[in-house]
Structure 1
Amino acid sequence: MRIFLIRHGESIQNTYENFDNLPDHKIYLTQKGEQQADECGKFLKDYCTKNNIDLSNATMFVSPYARTRKTAELVNNHLQIEDVKEDVALIEHQYGLFDNIEDDERLAKFPDEFELYRRYYNNDGKFYIKFPQGESPLDVALRTRQFLETLFRDYKEGKENFFVVSHGTT
């Protein structure tokens, strides 16, 4: 079994540009991010060709967010994998009320929630504490583990090569 992990290309969120308060799932790639995805596809196609990796028996799993969908599309322009599946287990870490805001703004907007979060975080609880109305890193790990079970199931059914297009925290 081979698993190729691909993080989406640079997004508008990564550049700290004004992204018009778009919800996380609608954050899109920058022009540079699209170029990165295209280059990734070229690299992977070359790698697979040189190493005799059968792409006819491959599956590509994709987070359903705009930036991962576009990355997958651009990568797959080169790989031509027919079996492409979206999986919600691959979505970005959910930051809830704290999504896209810095600590000073978190404190100003949500003082009680921020204080509780900070207290747990600073007391060796950063893996377990959930963002208010969001997820903890533990939640993300459990979700990712469920996804790996999907890969193992597909492997047992004869699939050999997997390409996973996701996020930095999943």
Structure 2
Amino acid sequence: MSSLEWLAIARHGESIGNVAWRTAETNELEEIDVGLRDPDVPLSETGRRQAVALGRRLASLPAAERPTAVISSPYLRAAETARIALAEIAGPPIRYDERLRDRETGILYALTGRGIAARFPEEAARKRLTGKFYYRPPGGESWADVALRLRSAMSDIERDHPGGRVLIVAHDAVVMLFRYIVEQLTEQQLLEIERTLVPNASLAIWSRREGEMRLVTFNSTDHLEDGAGLPA
């Protein structure tokens, strides 16, 4: 499918939004306490440590196997992860592409499942009927919408980096939907894989083998296992 040598996607490190989400779930709240636009949510201290650990993993690669291009979502948590990680190596300059941004959730932004059911029960019912892949919240995007913009981004990446080793830094939905696109999965296959959460600062890597991009590793967090990048 691709002329790339390999493609890797890292999810951003832990953000203050991730921390607030866990707090909301633990306390059975309807809304997470962030107080920022989604594009402006920064990394937590743990997230910064995870980004350093990701960079050190890249630095452990032989020079001839490191990324030749790095492309990041412009959202702050991803951009910070890319900048911190790339500071660990003499890497290429980071490019930012808005097509790699997180899925937009519209009127449901910052609401937990409990909050959606309480405040927008008709949307909760519509999501159950439509299914996760095609459900589009008012003012937001479906997973299918995100896939469309990622197909465009992937086409440009292939065109601009023939034979290259490209690292993308983005979000969990982007990681999942790149699997959908690169591996030509069905909706059902994607949703089965999606049952497993994508950890912060984890890596998914595809390598070109026999003319096709094949998955080498998914949700890899070996670089975090020394505890330096794990949540407290």
TM-score by length of 2: 0.63
SS at match of 2:136: coil
Q: Which residue number in structure 2 is paired with residue 74 of structure 1? A: 84
Deviation at 1:23, TM superposition (A): 1.4
Identity of aligned residues (%): 29
Contiguous gaps of at least 5 residues in structure 1: none
SS at match of 1:106: helix
Residue identity matched to 2:58: L
Larger helix share, 1 or 2: 1
Q: Which residue number in structure 1 is paired with residue 57 of structure 2? A: 43
Deviation at 1:143, TM superposition (A): 1.4
Q: Which residue number in structure 1 is paired with residue 116 of structure 2? A: 106
Residues 1:153 and 2:159 aligned together? yes
Residues 1:25 and 2:39 aligned together? yes
Residues 1:83 and 2:93 aligned together? yes
Distance in 2 (CA, whole Å) between partners of 1:120 and 1:2 is: 35
TM-score by length of 1: 0.85
SS at match of 2:115: helix
Distance in 1 (CA, whole Å) between partners of 2:127 and 2:138 is: 8
Residue identity matched to 2:103: H
Deviation at 1:168, TM superposition (A): 0.7
Over 3 Å counting, the alpha-carbon distance change for 1:82 and 1:105 in structure 2 is: same
Residue identity matched to 1:130: R
CA deviations over 1:18-68 (Å, ceiling 9, x no partner): 64321111111111110010011011111234xx3265xx11101001101
Distance in 2 (CA, whole Å) between partners of 1:164 and 1:111 is: 36
Residue identity matched to 2:65: I
Residues 1:135 and 2:135 aligned together? no
- Report if the CA contact (8 A) 2:17-2:34 is conserved: no
| RMSD after superposition | 1.9
Alignment partner for residue 166 of structure 2, among 132, 150, 162? 162
Deviation at 1:147, TM superposition (A): 1.1
Contiguous gaps of at least 5 residues in structure 2: 24-31, 175-232
CA deviations over 1:64-112 (Å, ceiling 9, x no partner): 0110111011111022223321001100011111112123322333343
- Report if the CA contact (8 A) 2:34-2:110 is conserved: no
Residue identity matched to 1:149: S
